[in-house]
Structure 1
Amino acid sequence: MKSFGIVVVLLILVGTTLGSTLVIKGSNTVYPVAQLWAEAYKEINPDVEISIEGAGSSTGIKALFNGQTDIANSSRWIKTSEIEQMNQDGKYFIPFIVAYDGIAIVVNKSLGIENITVQQLYDIYSGKVTTWNQIDSSLPKVRIVPMSRDNASGTFEYFVEHVMKGEKLAPQ
């Protein structure tokens, strides 16, 4: 699976002073790393309180738009429509790639599947394929139970964009 950048989207903060609270919301993927950054930052700036919430990339970006957070962690790029909305509101952002992330597709080891194609994933998540023997006739006729991330997740959005070609996942 192709990797994608984890992006921390920052609103340009004018007037943030020592002694204030820095609010960070967004990606659950970035959350553990953001906690480490916060601890390191507090060592050199002990008067700054830092509040971190992992609630999904889209949630963080929306909170940034609404003035509910200072920093939005995201495991996806900010969308053109989101940039336009911010600019219309007179707000600008600075994206920083802080890491690269990947998506792992996991299947039950007992099936003996070594590889799965993006097309096969599309067929599974679109509902076109519902049993393993539809993927490979040597596999058992066992129901496939697709799992996915929360739809506010940047990882979920990446999967929908790149695997599902923008189409919705079939109801599970």
Structure 2
Amino acid sequence: MKKTMLVMMTMVLALTLAACGSKNGNETSGGGGAEGLSGSILAAGSTAMQPLVEQVANKFMADSKYSGITVQVQGGGSGTGLTQVSEGQADIGNSDIFANEKFKDGDATKAEELVDHQVAVVAMSTVVNKDIAIDNLTKQQLVDIFTGKVTNWKEVGGADAKIVIVNRPSSSGTRKTFEKYGLGTASEDLPGNIQEDSSGTVKKLVGETPGAIGYLALSYLDDSVKKLKLDGVEATPDNVKAGTYPIWAYQHMYTKGEPNEAVKAFLDFMLTDDIQKTDVTELGYIAINEMQVTRDESGKIVKK
């Protein structure tokens, strides 16, 4: 009798442990695997990144593995995105610039709290109204235009027409990238200039305004505006990869500390081969692993 009871107790204990193990295994799989994740993600910031992040977010949410996660994408500029993620108002801060370019001096600790996830590279080109009869500017000519020294297209080989600058606000990562790598100096908000918060509006205004000049990420370019070469070099992915065209930046997706599981799933999805080889390339960005050069936080380009 005692022997029988001992056998039965042993079997019950074994079944109980198996059930617990199965339960814990499911919880681990659900908590750490995509199928068990749920929640909402807000990614805000760079409008240069916005077309890419929006398209990938839609593909992510359409995937059955991530059906429990919703992703909302907002613009506002890199500075806004970095501020919002730093203050906990967004889960991801999309940025064309390194966080330490936004948070300096007394705010330096804010940059240290953010974790950088680089998901692509974006190139930016000077663009003009299609009626402008030139296709190239030297760096010095570009500086002279954006600092107000040159105000008429005839001064740089074009027709006798007033130059209208369509600029981005000082918080824009696109503007900071253009100034740092295209001009080599900051530009002022000159009287008569137009300033717009989004790349889409810049494209619309340059396309519709006689004599207009601005700058856009390649992801925004279409036949409504005219792309200019810089010192004879065209803004193309191949020239950026090789390091011969200088106006480009990493596309950063910053999180405050390490991301939670849902955010990590989205960031990992951004870096999958499928996304990098299709969405990133098709939208005019450059896949991270295709770059033949790198750029450090000081802006110096070095061969890999």
TM-score normalised to structure 2 length: 0.45
Residue equivalent to 1:5: none
Alignment CA distance shift 1:90-1:110 (3 Å): closer
1:37 positional shift: 2.5
1:15-164 equivalent positions in 2, closer than 5 A: 18-42=37-61, 43=63, 44-80=65-101, 82=103, 88=109, 92-136=113-157, 139-162=158-181, 163=183
- Gaps of at least 5 residues in structure 2 are 1-35, 194-304
Counterpart of 2:52 in structure 1: which amino acid?
V
Alignment CA distance shift 1:46-1:109 (3 Å): closer
Secondary structure (helix, strand or coil) at the match of 1:54 reads strand
The answer to whether the Cα contact below 8 Å between 1:86 and 1:92 also exists between their aligned partners in 2 is no
Residue equivalent to 2:188: 168
Alignment CA distance shift 1:140-1:31 (3 Å): closer
The answer to whether the Cα contact below 8 Å between 2:45 and 2:95 also exists between their aligned partners in 1 is yes
Count of aligned residue pairs for this structure pair: 154
The answer to whether the Cα contact below 8 Å between 2:146 and 2:187 also exists between their aligned partners in 1 is no
Counterpart of 2:56 in structure 1: which amino acid?
W
Greater share of helix residues, 1 or 2? 2
Distance 2:40 2:129 in 1: 45
Distance 1:36 1:85 in 2: 36
The answer to whether the Cα contact below 8 Å between 1:150 and 1:156 also exists between their aligned partners in 2 is yes
1:94 positional shift: 2.4
Counterpart of 1:112 in structure 2: which amino acid?
A
Report sequence identity in percent: 28
Secondary structure (helix, strand or coil) at the match of 1:29 reads coil
- Gaps of at least 5 residues in structure 1 are 1-16
The answer to whether the Cα contact below 8 Å between 1:126 and 1:164 also exists between their aligned partners in 2 is no
The answer to whether the Cα contact below 8 Å between 2:41 and 2:70 also exists between their aligned partners in 1 is yes
Counterpart of 1:168 in structure 2: which amino acid?
E
Secondary structure (helix, strand or coil) at the match of 2:80 reads helix
The answer to whether the Cα contact below 8 Å between 2:41 and 2:71 also exists between their aligned partners in 1 is yes
Name the stretch that deviates more: 29-38 or 158-167.
Answer: 158-167
Alignment CA distance shift 1:100-1:168 (3 Å): same
Counterpart of 1:132 in structure 2: which amino acid?
W
